[in-house]
C-alpha cells in the first residue's frame, strides 16, 4: 500500500476541487501521472488501495450523496460482488477500486446519453403530437416552452436504473461463476408470482 502523503498537498487539493463526478475522476486518473500512480494495479493488483485513492473516491461519493442520490449503497453492493471483503471502501484492493471508478464513470456516461436522447426525442415528438390533435375543436393550442434541464429526481431515476442493471448483471455473472442453480438466482418478485 502506498504511504499516506505520496501526493503533495496542493495536488490533492486540486484533485478534490476538480473531481466532482466519476468522469472527471477517471480523466484525472488517466491524465495525471501522480493520481494515476495511486490507482495503478501494477504487479500487485490485490494489494490494499492507497488511502489517498480511497479519499478521492469517497469525495465523489459524498458529492453525489449531497445531491440526494444514494449511490454509496449501490457502489458498495458492486464492491462486495467483486471482492472477498466486507462492504467497506477501506478494505478495497487497488484493482477493485480502479474498476469501481471505471464502472461508475461508464454509468454516468450512459445516464447522460439516456437523458440527452430522451430530451431530444421529447422535443421532436411534441410538435408532431400537437399538430395531429389540432383538428380536435375542444383542444386549445398550447405554446411550447423549454423547461430547462431534467430535475434531480429524473436524473436520480436514470442513475438508479442503470446501477440496478449493473448490479443485476454482476450478480448473474457471480452466480454463474459460483455455479448457483437457477433456483438460487430467483428474485423475490418472481417467487411471489409462483405462490399466486
Report pLDDT digits (tens) over 28-74: 888 877 788 888 877 888 888 888 888 888 888 888 776 656 667 77
Sign of CA dihedral 171, 175, 181, 182: positive
> For residue 3, what pLDDT is reported?
38
Look at residue 48 and give its three-state secondary structure. strand
Tell me what percent of the chain is helix, strand and coil, each rounded to the nearest 5.
65, 0, 30
- Mean pLDDT (the chain, rounded): 75
> For residue 111, what pLDDT is reported?
92
Half-sphere exposure of 133 (CA within 13 A, CB side): 10
CA distance 30 to 173: 28
What are the tens digits of pLDDT across the range 122-158? 777 766 666 666 555 455 555 666 677 788 788 888 9
Nearest-Å Rg of the Cα atoms of the chain is 22
* Inter-axis angle of helices 94-133 and 51-66, nearest 10: 20
Percentage of residues of the chain with pLDDT beyond 70: 66
User: In 65-173, at which residue ranges do the beta strands (DSSP E only) sit?
Assistant: none
> For residue 107, what pLDDT is reported?
92
Amino acid at each position: 500500500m502506498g504511504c499516506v502523503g505520496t501526493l503533495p498537498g496542493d495536488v490533492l487539493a486540486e484533485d478534490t476541487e476538480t473531481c466532482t463526478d466519476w468522469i472527471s475522476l477517471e480523466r484525472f486518473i488517466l491524465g495525471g501521472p501522480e493520481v494515476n500512480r495511486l490507482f495503478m494495479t501494477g504487479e500487485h493488483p490485490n494489494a490494499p488501495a492507497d488511502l489517498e485513492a480511497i479519499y478521492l473516491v469517497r469525495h465523489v461519493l459524498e458529492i453525489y450523496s449531497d445531491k440526494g442520490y444514494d449511490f454509496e449503497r449501490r457502489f458498495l453492493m458492486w464492491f462486495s460482488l467483486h471482492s472477498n471483503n466486507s462492504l467497506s471502501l477501506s478494505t478495497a484492493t487497488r484493482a477493485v477500486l480502479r474498476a469501481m471508478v471505471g464502472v461508475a464513470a461508464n454509468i454516468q456516461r450512459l445516464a447522460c446519453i439516456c437523458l440527452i436522447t430522451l430530451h431530444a426525442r421529447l422535443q421532436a415528438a411534441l410538435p408532431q403530437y400537437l399538430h395531429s390533435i389540432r383538428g380536435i375543436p375542444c383542444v386549445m393550442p398550447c405554446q411550447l416552452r423549454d423547461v430547462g434541464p431534467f430535475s434531480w429526481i429524473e436524473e436520480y431515476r436514470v442513475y438508479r436504473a442503470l446501477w440496478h442493471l449493473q448490479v443485476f448483471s454482476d450478480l448473474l455473472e457471480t452466480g454463474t461463476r459460483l455455479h448457483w442453480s437457477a433456483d438460487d438466482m430467483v428474485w423475490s418478485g418472481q417467487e411471489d408470482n409462483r405462490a399466486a
